[in-house]
Amino acid sequence: MTVRAVPGQLPITTRFRQVRQRTLELCAGLSAEDLQVQSMPDASPGKWHLAHTSWFFEQFVLGRDPAYQPRDPAWHYLFNSYYQSIGPMHERPQRGLLSRPSLDEVHGYRRYIDDAVGELLERSEDAELATLVELGLQHEQQHQELLLTDIKHAFWCNPLQPVYRTTPVVTVNAKAPPLRFVDGHDGIVEIGYRGEGFAFDNETPRHRTLLQPHALANRLVTNAEYLAFVREGGYREPGLWLSDGWATVQRESWQHPLYWQADLASEFTLAGVRALDPHEPVCHLSYYEAEAFARWAGVRLPTEAEWETAAQGAGIDGNLQDEQRFQPRVAPDGDGLQQLYGDVWEWTASPYVSYPGFRPLPGSLGEYNGKFMCGQWVLRGGSCATPRSHIRASYRNFFPPHARWQFAGLRLGQDR
């Protein structure tokens, strides 16, 4: 973890207040019952997200003071996520059973932590403190995205299929531009953290890697393009799938992307069920589905090094959480690569492993990223649920290959 000042960056006290408030805004309109439900083991209740992000600041920021007394020592067990080195935790699949503490108590806990951390920031100019708080804010922004993806899954599981938030349908282009391939850089390139702003430890160190001649698609794959794969029997052809992927398709009876309706003409969104827009990026795919589609199309997925090299120097602009649309939108027309940031996370062909020379953070914070470098695949670029101030060219997201409840889609790549 590294934080260095960037011109125009908000003071840490201001950023702390804004990020913490943004989490509450995302929960506005949700009932206590909405924030209690856990629809599957991979998801968490909204109430737990609210408490865990506060626990993080209590544990790693306020807990630096040996004299600090936790608000409620029993909550350390309830709201620890996976930090084995600092103690046991309540099992993840059972988080939805935590009817106590109540939502009001959790909100009180958040206010308590906000006051304590805010006071600490006001009276201290400790660079290490600012670094830890920024890590906590980046961590909270990850949970903001999870709040949206988890409540979407919970509402989809409800036969009433309720609406999270009604948002206007904003169309930049009526149709996606034609798919074409743009040559990428080849030869020796550098990827990884450049040394400005925030970076997680898994983005380091910056290092050289060799790229072969290749090209990337100018935009993301659309619903219409993926629908052709579905209609032509893509989910019935084992030769298109990785072995584990085909086993998953059979076991889970997958026939189309998550949230598509059986009529293949509509989909569930955070604004409720609506007609499937053929020109929007396809979303909520697993790695298995993205890889099978690329194989069916006669091309492949990009590597993360190819993606990052293309994204370096590009402005962080796109359909991100700040737009409050919470749904992918049609690609704009234009030269070069479009939709590098926002809309959907882009599965890559790269397994989530360490960079050459990687060193995890010291102490318990070293459990944040490094210990998951097995059986996961890298996604790049952020989604319509990702905060703009959270994403960057070197950001490495990762999920297991079967995961499909995140806002994930794909861009195609090919060898030259």
pLDDT category, 171, cuts 50, 70, 90? low
Burial of 45 (0-12, 13-18, 19+ CB in 10 A): buried
Parallel, antiparallel, or unpaired: how do β-strands 2-4 and 197-199 relate? antiparallel
- Encoded tokens for 234: 């893509």
Flag whether pLDDT at 413 surpasses 80: yes
In the structure, what pLDDT confidence band is assigned to residue 196 with cuts at 50, 70 and 90? confident
Nearby residues of 158 by Cβ (< 8 Å), 6 or more positions away: none
In contact, 26 and 46? CB cutoff 8 Å? no
Assess whether pLDDT exceeds 90 at residue 195.
no
Does 382 score more than 70 pLDDT? yes
pLDDT reported for residue 367: 81
pLDDT digits (tens, 9 = 90+) for 124-168: 888 899 999 999 999 999 999 999 999 999 999 999 999 999 876
CA-nearest of 352, 403, 399, 391 to 374 is: 352
Q: What is the average pLDDT value for the chain, to the nearest integer?
A: 94
Q: What are the C-alpha distances in Å from 343 to residues 10, 65, 146, 154, 229?
A: 25, 41, 15, 21, 21
Residue 280 has pLDDT above 80, yes or no: yes
State the number of CA atoms in the 13 A half-sphere of 69 facing the CB. 1
Least confident of 194-208, 311-325, 359-373: 359-373
Torsion of CA 361, 362, 363, 369, to 10 degrees: 20
CA distance 95 to 44: 7
Nearest to 296 by CA among 246, 353, 234, 344: 234
Q: Where are the domains of the chain?
A: 2-157, 181-415
Query: Please, which residues bridge with residue 281 across strands?
Result: 222
| pLDDT tens-digit map of 4-24 | 444 457 899 999 999 999 999
Q: Concatenated DSSP letters for 65-100?
A: STT---S-TTHHHHH--S-GGG-----GGGGGG---
Looking from the CA of 94 toward its CB, the CA atoms found within 13 Å total 7
Q: What is the pTM of this model?
A: 0.95
Distance CA 269, CA 377 (A): 25
- What is the C-alpha separation between 184 and 280, in angstroms, rounded? 24
The dihedral built from the CA positions of residue 203, 47, 67 and 17, taken in this order, carries a sign that is positive
The reported pLDDT for the residue numbered 169 is: 58
Instruction: Read off the pLDDT of each residue in 112-134 and give the average, rounded to a whole number.
Output: 93
- CA–CA separation, 22 vs 104, rounded Å? 18
User: Residues 6 or more apart from 392 whose CB is under 8 A from it?
Assistant: 197, 199, 316
Three-state secondary structure call for residue 38: coil
Task: Let me know how many helices (H) and strands (E) the chain has, helices first.
Answer: 9, 15
Closest CA to 58 of 46, 68, 44: 68
As a whole number, mean pLDDT of residues 116-125 equals 92
What are 51-109's pLDDT values in tens digits? 999 999 999 999 999 999 998 999 999 999 999 999 999 999 999 999 999 999 999 99
1: pLDDT strictly greater than 60:
no
- The yes-or-no verdict on residue 268 having pLDDT over 50 is yes
Domain boundaries 181-415, CATH class: alpha beta
Predicted pLDDT at 4: 45
| Pairing assessment for the beta strands 318-319 and 341-342 based on DSSP bridges | parallel
Burial class of residue 413 (count of CB atoms within 10 Å of its CB; 0-12, 13-18, 19+): buried
**Rounded to whole angstroms, how far apart are CA atoms 349 and 54?**
35
Predicted local distance difference test score (pLDDT) of residue 314: 84
User: HEC string of 117-150?
Assistant: HHHHHHHCCCHHHHHHHHHHHHHHHHHHHHHHHH
Percent of the chain with pLDDT over 70: 97
Q: What is the pLDDT of residue 3?
A: 44
For domain 2-157, the CATH class is mainly alpha
Percent of the chain with pLDDT over 90: 88
